[in-house]
Structure 1
């Protein structure tokens, strides 16, 4: 079973195998007992389709660099995820980003010169295998309803990714992104703020200065709602900081670059 070409694997994925009935006809997939694969990941890729749901629980910011991507922050520092409990499970009643729900499956190109994509999985995840109990992946040579649903989910994720790319291209054209910075103080150290940088955000001043016609277009095509979901979510930065503080995961109060690493 040859692995798919993988010059650079996305976040979480350690290996990729193309799913097929010849090699995996009697394989099954079992549910994850926990989300330990999240590990100490503090930033999760997000699509624009998720902004409205995600902004209730996570700050939504953009990665630094020339090609920014939206991410949901689960912590403000590298290696800190405030949404996992002691049993390796996500805390209840929060939105789970589609990027997490997709794992261990993904659509990937088997040949770099072709645009065709195949359903693949990460065998290192430990939930897909011949001896597993759970959902069958194939019925003879045909994919089961479960597998078809997985394929449909992955296709929709890719489509949402294209909409996300188009959204970011428009933000760049409007030139309304700025380098982000937030300073948070704790009552026990009022003179020593925790300063977080290393991410991008929409510049509200530039947003207000856009021509009326441009603003009307943004509101009509849905971009205005997405921009405001992002801006509203920034208020959660302090809430995430409080979660870190309660969990004893706040570093020494110095200028901190860790809010938004580059992710795939």
Structure 2
């Protein structure tokens, strides 16, 4: 039987990881869930570049700090504030876009051993939607992965491939020197001080406009330029999120960080 995946730290949302096993989980099912309580207090969710066109009309897209930044969809402007999920984990508006990172939970592809090359389908055993239930989608059929599990595996494989393309996008953005520390200052009417949001990175439009011809041709040909502009256009939604936070009474002191 496969051993538990060896990971130094677990990804966002995951409290534990266990490889899906025909011996141990032959009777397990995934039951339908109308709530996602694990995401309700999360204000920034990792994003893949394929999602930029869909997300840029709904949420600001920024990049995390650090040497290996990742794209993030902002679902709120402050820690613990998610404007797209309520306190029970239900979507606050019908038809709202849910990032793939959220949709793949409680499943995840992971290495069972650090030296392993292959990724195995794992799940978070602390989740309350996977287990031996009377109702739900069966994960195995006669000791073989069910059609549903094959679809789950395919979704996770596609997500991993999208993650690799996203990593390449971020490496090229860094090599071009396009990232800068972000800052957004919002002055509400009647407030004594502006609300200032930092702690994220964004593309420097000035540097983007100063790219050499060969650099510009490269990002046009490899499809990066539309993604960069999707990110830049999405930043106008910062003020929309701010307004929504004000209306819900979930505002911090004027000095804040994303």
Report the TM-score, using the length of structure 1 for normalisation. 0.94
Conserved 8 A contact 2:60-2:236:
yes
- Cα 1:246–1:115 change in 2 (3 A) is same
Moved more, 31-40 or 15-24: 31-40
- Cα 1:123–1:227 change in 2 (3 A) is same
Q: Which runs of 4+ in 1 moved over 4 A?
A: none
Conserved 8 A contact 1:18-1:118:
yes
- 3-state secondary structure, aligned to 1:186: coil
Tell me by how many angstroms 1:65 deviates: 1.0
- The corresponding residue for 2:241 is 240
Conserved 8 A contact 1:107-1:155:
yes
- The corresponding residue for 1:93 is 95
Conserved 8 A contact 1:30-1:132:
no
Q: Which runs of 5+ in 2 are unaligned?
A: none
Indicate which of 128, 134, 152 corresponds to 1:126: 128
What does the per-residue CA deviation read over 1:98-118, in whole Å, with 9 as the maximum and x for residues that have no partner? 000000000011011112110
- The corresponding residue for 2:157 is 155
Give yes or no for the alignment of 1:172 onto 2:182: no
Instruction: Count how many residue pairs are aligned between Structure 1 and Structure 2.
Output: 256
Going by fraction, where is strand more abundant, 1 or 2? 1
> What's the RMSD between the two structures over aligned residues?
1.2
Larger RCO (CA within 8 A; separation ≥ 6): 1
Tell me by how many angstroms 1:214 deviates: 1.7
- Cα 1:132–1:69 change in 2 (3 A) is farther
Report the TM-score, using the length of structure 2 for normalisation. 0.96
- The corresponding residue for 1:75 is 76
- 3-state secondary structure, aligned to 2:7: coil
Tell me by how many angstroms 1:132 deviates: 4.5
Conserved 8 A contact 1:106-1:120:
yes
